[in-house]
């Protein structure tokens, strides 16, 4: 019998989750989105699938959740405060939840009260809630943690992630401010703090390594294009903003023990993910080309489903669950 699911959030990421979930044999029984232009649309059509799924998108979450799905796939907002009532409603309907909300990947440090309430809701309803994705959720937290497995001791972890935003979805380019002037960028993207999730990754990594963080410091700055760059969804003129360079530093005993360095801009050369562990022994790893965010987030989310289904009730993190790997049996 197929696993049943409600898709909560049918934006660009939600649509990719639907595509991957259908490929895994998951049966959708409902879909929620507040966008009026999607109301009444078949979820398969909204997700760009060749076949309709026989499920209409609605803004009425209660109505959709009334189907009593096994699982809710959730992709609405980065903010754990914004998504809390949505997640609680999903859990109250008896569903395990996997969400791409960046702050949900490790809310225990920045939003401990929300984390406590979500954990309690999961325990009350006997279901598990997880926030994950490629970043946060894997590239800058789970992968570096796993790479410390052969170490006798670790002093510092540095992760560098370089992505060409020109190969990413259009909303991501807007999120990093591609095409804006520096002043426009400063008033919008810069003021909002850029990409969400680096402090969550730093906190999850610190918890895994048994480190107590004195502080997590974060900087975000615009990357300005030297020359005109054209990609599928965007053109950036010379002198305009191409994207962001963002660094989160986890301070332990006064030292910068964790450094997460993210460059996400249109035209970034030689995309890659690199992990450098200083310890006994050092571990230096490069992922050639890097993990492409739009392509890999659905993989991380759907591959987590069997482990979330098997986990103890409550709010989980990726590092609480069993060792992750591809799991094409997610729909079984």
Ordered DSSP codes for 276-294: EEEEES-EEEEEET---HH
- Residue found under tokens 């010379």: 238
Please state the length of the chain. Answer: 332
Least distance from C-beta 22 to a second copy, angstroms?
A: 11
Kindly tell me which of 27 and 151 has the beta carbon lying closer to a second copy: 151
CA atoms within 13 Å, Cβ hemisphere of 71: 28
Kindly tell me which of 26 and 65 has the beta carbon lying closer to a second copy: 26
Least distance from C-beta 146 to a second copy, angstroms?
A: 5
Cα-only R_g, the chain: 20
Least distance from C-beta 289 to a second copy, angstroms?
A: 7
Q: Would you state the structure tokens that stand for residue 32, as one six-digit string?
A: 């929620």
281 preceded by cis ω (within 30°)? Answer: yes
Kindly tell me which of 65 and 147 has the beta carbon lying closer to a second copy: 147
Q: Which residues of 260-298 are buried (b: 16+ CB within 10 A; e: fewer)?
A: bbbbbbbbbeebbbbbbbbbeeebeeeeeebbebbebbb
Kindly tell me which of 231 and 292 has the beta carbon lying closer to a second copy: 292
Give residues in contact with a second copy (CB under 8 A).
20, 23, 134, 138-139, 142-143, 145-154, 208-210, 279-289, 291-292, 295-300, 302-303, 318-329
Q: Using alpha carbons, list the distances in angstroms from residue 182 to 40, 157, 218, 267.
A: 40, 31, 19, 17
Least distance from C-beta 2 to a second copy, angstroms?
A: 17
- Taking the C-alpha atoms of residue 12 and residue 181, their distance in angstroms, rounded to an integer, is 25
**Angle between helix 112-125 and helix 80-92 axes, rounded to 10 deg:** 10
Kindly tell me which of 139 and 248 has the beta carbon lying closer to a second copy: 139
Kindly tell me which of 20 and 77 has the beta carbon lying closer to a second copy: 20
SS3 53: coil
Instruction: Give φ, ψ of 266 to 5 degrees.
Output: -65, 125
- Taking the C-alpha atoms of residue 20 and residue 16, their distance in angstroms, rounded to an integer, is 6
Kindly tell me which of 71 and 139 has the beta carbon lying closer to a second copy: 139
Least distance from C-beta 228 to a second copy, angstroms?
A: 29
Least distance from C-beta 283 to a second copy, angstroms?
A: 7
Kindly tell me which of 55 and 209 has the beta carbon lying closer to a second copy: 209
SS3 51: coil
Least distance from C-beta 300 to a second copy, angstroms?
A: 5
Least distance from C-beta 139 to a second copy, angstroms?
A: 8
Least distance from C-beta 262 to a second copy, angstroms?
A: 16
- Taking the C-alpha atoms of residue 216 and residue 202, their distance in angstroms, rounded to an integer, is 8
Kindly tell me which of 133 and 190 has the beta carbon lying closer to a second copy: 133
């Amino acid at each position: 019998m197929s696993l049943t699911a409600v898709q909560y959030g049918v934006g660009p990421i939600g649509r990719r989750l639907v595509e991957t979930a259908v490929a895994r044999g998951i049966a959708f029984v409902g879909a929620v989105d507040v966008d009026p232009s999607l109301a009444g649309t078949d979820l398969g059509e909204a997700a760009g699938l060749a076949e309709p799924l026989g499920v209409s998108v609605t803004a009425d979450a209660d109505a959709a959740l009334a189907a009593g799905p096994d699982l809710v796939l959730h992709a609405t907002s980065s903010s754990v405060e914004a998504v809390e009532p949505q997640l609680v409603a999903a859990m109250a309907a008896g569903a395990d939840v996997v969400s791409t909300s960046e702050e949900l990947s490790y809310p225990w440090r920045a939003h401990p009260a929300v984390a406590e309430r979500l954990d309690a809701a999961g325990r009350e309803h006997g279901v598990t809630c997880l926030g994950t994705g490629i970043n946060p959720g894997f590239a800058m937290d789970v992968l570096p943690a796993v790479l410390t497995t052969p170490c006798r001791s670790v002093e510092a972890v540095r992760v560098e992630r370089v992505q060409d935003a020109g190969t990413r979805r259009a909303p991501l380019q807007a999120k990093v401010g591609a095409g804006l002037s520096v002043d426009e960028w400063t008033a919008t993207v810069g003021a909002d703090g850029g990409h969400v999730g680096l402090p969550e990754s730093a906190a999850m990594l610190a918890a895994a390594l048994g480190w107590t963080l004195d502080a997590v410091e974060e900087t975000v700055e615009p990357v300005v294009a030297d020359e005109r760059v054209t990609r599928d969804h965007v053109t950036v003129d010379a002198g305009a903003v191409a994207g962001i360079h963002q660094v989160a530093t986890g301070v332990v005993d006064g030292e910068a023990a964790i450094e997460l360095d993210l460059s996400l801009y249109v035209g970034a050369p030689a995309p890659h993910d690199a992990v450098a562990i200083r310890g006994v022994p050092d571990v230096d790893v490069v992922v050639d080309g890097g993990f492409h965010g739009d392509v890999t987030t659905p993989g991380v989310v759907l591959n987590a489903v069997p482990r979330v289904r098997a986990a103890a009730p409550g709010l989980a993190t990726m590092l609480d669950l069993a060792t992750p790997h591809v799991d094409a049996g997610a729909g079984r």
